[in-house]
Amino acid sequence: MYNSKITGLGYYVPDNIVTNDDLSKLMDTTDEWIQERTGIKERRWIKEGSDDSSAVMGAKAAKIAIERAGLTKDDIDFIVFATLSPDYYFPGCGVQIQDLLDMDTVGALDVRNQCSGFIYALSTADQFIKTGMYKNILIIGSEYHSNGLDKTTRGRGVTVIFGDGAGACVLSRSEDNSRGILSSHLHSEGKYADKLTVASPSIGNWVPAIIASNGEDISYFPYMDGTFVFKNAVVRFSEVIMEGLMTNGLNKEDIDLLIPHQANLRIAQFIQKKFGLRDDQVFNNIMKYGNTTAASVIIALTEAWEEGKVKDDDLIVLAAFGSGFTWGSVIIKW
Ligand SMILES: CC(C)(COP(=O)(O)OP(=O)(O)OC[C@H]1O[C@@H](n2cnc3c(N)ncnc32)[C@H](O)[C@@H]1OP(=O)(O)O)[C@@H](O)C(=O)NCCC(=O)NCCS
């Protein structure tokens, strides 16, 4: 069996910065409320008229990752794309990457696991590499949230949290079994699907039904039972990080850097305290970008790497929790 390691990282976020004060002009909210409850100061939202979309941003991040891996698009054997905000209802964004990067007719798979999307995508790619089926896989997490949010006071509990952006990495075959992805751990609990959801469009609740409701049906906006999600997040994050450590005979003292999904700074701080980690052992960038869902972990990993916080031989723990519910972790010896 082969091992797999991340050989290139990249990210792209739109230029347009939306501050909390900007949001307070659209809805009844304040900078103080948002910062205190979530840690978020600003986020990026694609500007009207821009060509950016989940696929386009993903392609931009992917180009950087491929170049940093020292590869070309022709070296990529497979694409895995994670998003909850695809350009089309179908097909998924993976095939658009194949086209946008002018790649050969390699396979393209879309992952629909929301905030855990990148963790699921990385784990999926890891299996293809470890079995020897592929050598270099392009993995992308990208989200264009801003166009689908309720920007009135009615939606403030959800809308202030989300930002747009994309991250990408190349996962490559390695013969060095002492480094790379040590293990990944994936979970779901579908009975809570309705706690954090966009209910429309769905085959059961299609566009005519929304139109017929004369604006009463807002099931196409994200709904979240925030308190319930928060309570589950802190438990599942802790569990799945412990699961990853125990599988590898490690304990919390072995963690060099934890990169949690950027859902809420208070969740990350809770996990940090629980695992007894110092500030420099947990990477957060939610202050700048908000929650970019499937892009969040990979943007954070890329930024941490660019800032020199991911070093050879470090034990890196990636973890996420989100809609589904789904959650997971990946343990990497860098
Ligand atoms: C969303 C979240 C920040 C809300 O924080 P909270 O402390 O739970 O706040 P609540 O939802 O209980 O709302 C408290 C009050 O603030 C109000 N409020 C909600 N959003 C607001 C906003 N943007 N500005 C001002 N007030 C707001 C609510 O209406 C409520 O008012 P009320 O008490 O008069 O009814 C928090 O629940 C959270 O982070 N949840 C988890 C998110 C997450 O992890 N997602 C995972 C993957 S995406």
* DSSP assignment of 17-72: EEEHHHHHTTSS--HHHHHHHH---EEE-PPTT----HHHHHHHHHHHHHHHTT--
Is 64 within 8 Å of 81 (Cβ atoms)? Answer: no
DSSP characters for 140-204? EEEE--GGGS--SGGGHHHHTTB--EEEEEEEEEES-TTSEEEEEEEEE-GGGGGGEE---SBTT
**Strands 42-44 and 136-143, bridge-based pairing:** unpaired
Residue 90's pLDDT is 86
Residue 210's pLDDT is 74
Is 291 one of the annotated active-site residues of the chain? yes
| Rounded distance between C-alpha atoms, residue 57 and residue 63, angstroms | 10
Pocket test for ligand 1, best of 38, 225, 230 (most atoms within 8 A of CB): 230
Is residue 328 predicted with pLDDT exceeding 90?
yes
Neighbours of 29 (CB within 10 A): 18
Is 244 within 8 Å of 330 (Cβ atoms)? Answer: yes
Question: Of 217 and 102, which is predicted with more confidence?
Answer: 102
Instruction: Note if the bond before 14 is cis, omega within 30 degrees.
Output: no
Is residue 23 predicted with pLDDT exceeding 80?
yes
Find the mean pLDDT for residues 3-31: 98
> Do 3-174 and 180-333 come out as alike in CATH topology?
yes
Candidate CATH numbers 3.10.580.10, 3.40.50.12500, 3.40.47.10, 3.40.50.970; the one for domain 3-174:
3.40.47.10
Q: Is ligand 1 within 6 A of the CB of residue 294?
A: no
pLDDT confidence of 211, banded at 50, 70, 90? Answer: confident
Cα of 37 vs centre of ligand 1, distance in Å, is: 7
Is 319 within 8 Å of 294 (Cβ atoms)? Answer: no
Q: Which of 18-22, 46-50, 211-215 is predicted with the least confidence, judged by mean pLDDT?
A: 211-215
For the whole model, what pTM was predicted?
Answer: 0.93
Is 93 one of the annotated active-site residues of the chain? no
Pocket test for ligand 1, best of 227, 265, 293, 323 (most atoms within 8 A of CB): 227
Is 178 within 8 Å of 248 (Cβ atoms)? Answer: no
Residue 89's pLDDT is 87
Is residue 333 predicted with pLDDT exceeding 80?
yes
Domain 180-333 part of CATH 3.40.50.150:
no
CA distances in angstroms from 233 to 261, 266, 271, 277, listed in the order given: 10, 11, 10, 18
pLDDT confidence of 217, banded at 50, 70, 90? Answer: confident
Find the mean pLDDT for residues 176-189: 95
Cα 229-14-144 angle, rounded to 5 deg? 45
From the candidates 93, 261, 264, 284, give the one annotated as an active-site residue.
261
Residue 177's pLDDT is 87
Mean pLDDT of the chain: 96
Find the mean pLDDT for residues 61-65: 98
Task: Summarize pLDDT for 101-151 with one digit per residue, the tens.
Answer: 999 999 999 999 999 999 999 999 999 999 999 999 999 999 999 999 999
| Rounded distance between C-alpha atoms, residue 28 and residue 151, angstroms | 10
| Rounded distance between C-alpha atoms, residue 169 and residue 65, angstroms | 5
Helix (H) or strand (E) holding 283: none
Task: Summarize pLDDT for 65-83 with one digit per residue, the tens.
Answer: 999 999 999 999 999 999 9
Percent pLDDT > 70 in the chain is 99
| Rounded distance between C-alpha atoms, residue 220 and residue 312, angstroms | 44
Cα of 291 vs centre of ligand 1, distance in Å, is: 14
| Rounded distance between C-alpha atoms, residue 330 and residue 182, angstroms | 8
The minimum-distance atom of ligand 1 relative to the CA of 267 is 44
Find the mean pLDDT for residues 292-306: 98
Residue spans per domain, the chain:
3-174, 180-333
Is residue 259 predicted with pLDDT exceeding 80?
yes
pLDDT confidence of 215, banded at 50, 70, 90? Answer: confident
